[in-house]
Amino acid sequence: MGDMRKDYVSERFMIVSKKDDKVKDSKKSPFAPGNESMTNPSVLSLVAKDGMLQRLQDSDDEFVEGWSIRVFESKDPIVSVETENSYSDRPFYSEPAYGYHYIVVASPNQKDTFATIDTEQWSNILVVVQDRLRWLYTQKGVTYVSIYADQGELSGSTTPHPHLNILTFSTIPPIIEEEAEASHKILNEKGVCPMCQTVNEEISGPRQVLQTEGFIAFCPWSPSYPYEFWIAPKKHTTSFSKITQKEINDLSLILRATLGGLSQTIKNVSYNLVFHLSPEKKNSRQIHWHIEIYPITKSWSGLERGYGIFLNDISPEEAAEKLGAACRKELANLVGIV
């Protein structure tokens, strides 16, 4: 496994990740039922039986069949607990790329997407992610747990089969650290959580996309991507691992409706879905957790890559209007309203 290197001056990290060079059968999805031997054994396989969900796992000589969700350690991990314990200081700063990398296969059907998986399945996925998150924070050397999904050819995914990645780090990722520090500063200066303030402003504004009982989806005021949108809890909460089953079901509904609406608005869209969660360590700055979705509709220019100034050909207000119309139709279909 490779190492984690830091920029000469800034806190930007990159990981040198050495991939498995073995030739794989490109016609077979390693995440599909019947191909379990192509991955590591599952640590959790959810199986529906007699109206109940059984929590099983593979044994050394037998794979669980009939699963609906499957969780296992990646065979090509970006981070690893077996990494070499080597460090170096600036200007060539590096540290071990230490951590765990799990795959959560979201559906046994490789033709599914996150926009076609039903809300009940989404609820089960989120429960599995929540359980794995809790367990990982009990492990030595885990400072932050990241959760993300890549959908579509331009998203960076190596397989179209819908799945999520759960990666841990021994340090807090720079973007989360920056967000947490900025949130803490605003909270101290103004006495208000900046995300709570954002939710209160966007809940009846022109960038609102969709609402459920406990969540709001909106296009951010200053997006990095056309049609970018966020999903945030309406009430102040810093811990995804502690949300209730009712809240999980509500989150599943808005996730399915908005991703369905996005796929209706932009055909064959590629996107990244990223959980922005608080570090669970007590001495860390906390953030109002939320999910960010980045549609990939065009390549970045030199202005964006070199200076971090983003050019969008559609305003977030116009994007929210188009997404909102499509998402409301999806929501109506999901809850059975004609």
Residues involved in catalysis:
163
Cα-to-chain-centroid distance, residue 51: 29
Which amino acid, residue 58?
Answer: D
Return the structure tokens found at 332.
């109506």
Half-sphere exposure of 186 (CA within 13 A, CB side): 16
Partners of 13 in the β-ladder? 6
Any residues with CB less than 8 A from the CB of 278 and at least 6 apart, and which?
180, 238, 239, 284, 285, 286, 287, 289
- Is 140:246 a contact under the CB 8 Å cutoff? no
Question: For 36-175, where are the E strands, in sequence order?
Answer: 42-49, 52-56, 67-73, 94-96, 101-105, 144-151, 163-169
Give dist(CA 212, CA 230) in Å, integer: 14
Most distant CA atoms of the chain, gap in Å? 62
d(CA 108, CA 68): 6
Nearest to 63 by CA among 34, 102, 88, 104: 34
Q: Does residue 194 have a cis peptide bond before it, meaning omega lies within 30 degrees of 0?
A: no
Element (H, E) at 124: helix 119-136
Q: For residue 98, which amino acid is it?
A: Y
- How many of the other CB atoms lie within 10 Å of CB of 167? 21
Candidates 232, 237, 238; CA nearest to 220 is 232
Query: For the residues of 173-236, what is the DSSP string, one character each?
Result: -HHHHHHHHHHHHHHHHHSS-HHHHHHHHHTTSTTEEEE-SSEEEE--SS-SSTT-EEEEESS-
